Homo-oligomer: A and B are copies of this chain.
Amino acid sequence: MAGTDSSQEIVFRPSPAIILCEPQLGENIGTTARAMANFGLWDLRLVNPRDGWPNERAIAAASRANHVIARVRVFATVEEAIADLTLVYATTARRRDLQKPVLGPDVAAQRLVGHIEGGRGAGLLFGRERWGLYNEEVALSDAIVTLPVEAAFASLNIAQAVLVLAYEWRRQSDLGAALPFTDTLAEPASKAELIGLFNHLEETLDRTGFFTAPDKRPTVVNNLRAMLSRGNFSAQEVRTLRGVISSIDRKHERPDPRRTPRKE
């Protein structure tokens, strides 16, 4: 989906840190940075990335999320990476034998928003591509977050897991309701304009003999009016429709071209 507005400035709002534990593929670091940028996250921390840092493949995969890539911090251990945070959730797709609460993304995001709005630091811990987080790493966290995935197909790419949680965070933060643009729907026509359309149509149909059964007329009229009300037509659209009716109506005034006048 294209649509980036380069005239807009990147805003670095307080938001959750994303901590990737020993990421193996640079591509995943880059696509994670992009997913974060899409929803306004920017604090990306890497614990002991396999191919070191900086990583060309990560930069290429980030699709110009340079403001995230430029701020990446590398740590030797998870302990160091989360030292400054006061709330950390570990993401995992597997049940752990740990006495930890398990939250869905919506509840987790709700709590992250509350925590961060209180001026405190929070983060989300993500595991290795192949085998996720070790229990020792999950044990360092306040709760486990898992996604409501299809059990038969639960494996998400890291960047996609990050994307869902970044989206949920943004959705539940005060920014959540803010779409990049809203509709440009014209104001609906006044009821007077709409009733004008109804009368215009009904008079025309009276002339063209549309109402074959006079006793049914009130019902048919109500159905037509209900139909024409559902579209929330604007004043301009009502005028257009009346033009359409008149245009078709004129046909009745013209002689039918298929009929050649018979000689007596």
A88-134 with Cβ < 8 A to chain B? 91-95, 97-102, 104-106, 126-127, 130-132
- The minimal Cβ–Cβ distance linking A115 to chain B, given in whole angstroms, is 16
Enumerate chain B residues within 8 angstroms of A3, measured Cβ to Cβ.
92-94, 132, 154-155
Interchain CB contact under 8 A, B94 and A2: yes
Enumerate chain B residues within 8 angstroms of A156, measured Cβ to Cβ.
1, 38
Separation of A184 and B182 alpha carbons in the complex (Å):
44
Interface flag for A244 (CB, 8 Å)? no
Identical copies of this chain, number: 2
Interface flag for A212 (CB, 8 Å)? no
Interface flag for A40 (CB, 8 Å)? yes
Interface flag for A219 (CB, 8 Å)? no
- The minimal Cβ–Cβ distance linking A244 to chain B, given in whole angstroms, is 16
Enumerate chain B residues within 8 angstroms of A160, measured Cβ to Cβ.
35, 38, 159-160, 163
Separation of A111 and B181 alpha carbons in the complex (Å):
20
Interface flag for A151 (CB, 8 Å)? yes
Q: Which of A92, A94, A183 has the most CB of B within 10 A?
A: A183
Separation of A149 and B95 alpha carbons in the complex (Å):
31
Interface flag for A150 (CB, 8 Å)? yes
Give residues in A with beta carbon < 8 Å to B: 1-6, 8-11, 31, 34-35, 37-40, 63, 65, 91-95, 97-102, 104-106, 126-127, 130-132, 144, 146-161, 163-164, 167, 170-171, 175-186, 234, 237
A sample of 12 cross-chain residue pairs with beta-carbon separation below 8 angstroms, ordered by A number, consists of A1-B156, A2-B131, A3-B94, A5-B152, A10-B153, A34-B157, A94-B181, A102-B182, A144-B183, A148-B167, A148-B171, A148-B176
